[in-house]
Amino acid sequence: MHVKIQQILDTTKTRIRAFEPEIRPGGMPECMQRRDFLSAVADARAEGRVPVIAEVKPASPGKAFREILPGDAARLAWEMEEAGAVAISVLTEPEVFRGSLENLEAVRRTVCLPVLRKDFIIDRLQLEETQSDLILLIAGILGENLLDFVDLALKKGFEPLVEVHNAEELELALDTPARVIGINNRNLETLEISLETTEKLAPLVREHDRKNGIDHVIVSESGIRGTDDVCRVIDAGADAVLVGSVIMENESVFEKTKELVQSLAWRC
């Protein structure tokens, strides 16, 4: 694991220990119905739109985009929704990515879209912290514990988005009941990015689904800078894309999100 990723994992462990007594009841209460991500993706594709998960991302390792307080997060998410995104991803890791649970909660109160909590989930207590529709589970970090975390997430009402980077991690993911597979084009060992990762792994998911009568939703993550990249991963077999940095770098979050959503139309 790259030193920056290990740093995040170490600070996450420390934070969990420090705040364990203050954990708030999370999961999905009966009064708050989970928003259907799979239907949102299907509807967008049927209308010729690219299913874009737009990300509220204050920073990435080594680069800060902007300070985002809960009110800012809500405004940005609203712009993303208006631009046609199918879901909103919210970074909640506070040290390196400068996210927060408060941002996540503000976004989910503001938009009608499914909301993904994007963090480094390593402890069951994190599934008790707050409410979201989807939750990121990283196969390369959870390893053999992945199935237990997927089962627990489903039990608590989350839609797990299981992230993989190679064939071994994909095999772990496909052995779980998760319906959403995220292919991270970033190597967590080197932090290098290549869209070839989606091109290699998406066909493996499709072949598995064909043999087993399953239909996973494939999300291509990281390294998507514009419409050409979107078309490339969609052509490779991705159903949706998760985009953060290039949206946050843009002067208009609305216009950049809209451009990505309409990528297939621009190509035509």
Which residues are known to be catalytic? 55, 57, 118, 163, 184, 221-222
Among 139, 187, 186, 130, residue whose Cα is nearest residue 161: 139
Among 110, 24, 35, 11, residue whose Cα is nearest residue 70: 110
Residue 23 carries which DSSP code? P
Among 7, 31, 8, 19, residue whose Cα is nearest residue 125: 19
Q: Are 114 and 75 in contact (CB under 8 A)?
A: no
| DSSP alpha helix (H) spans, the chain | 3-19, 37-46, 70-82, 101-110, 139-142, 146-155, 167-174, 196-212, 227-236, 245-249, 253-261, 263-267
Residue 10 CA to residue 81 CA, distance in Å, equals 34
Question: Could you tell me the two tokens for 13?
Answer: 């462990």
Residue 206 CA to residue 37 CA, distance in Å, equals 19
Question: Where is 91: in which H helix or E strand?
Answer: strand 87-91
Pairing of strands 59-60, 63-64: antiparallel
Among 43, 216, 173, residue whose Cα is nearest residue 114: 43
Among 165, 186, 185, residue whose Cα is nearest residue 232: 185
Amino acid identity, position 69: L
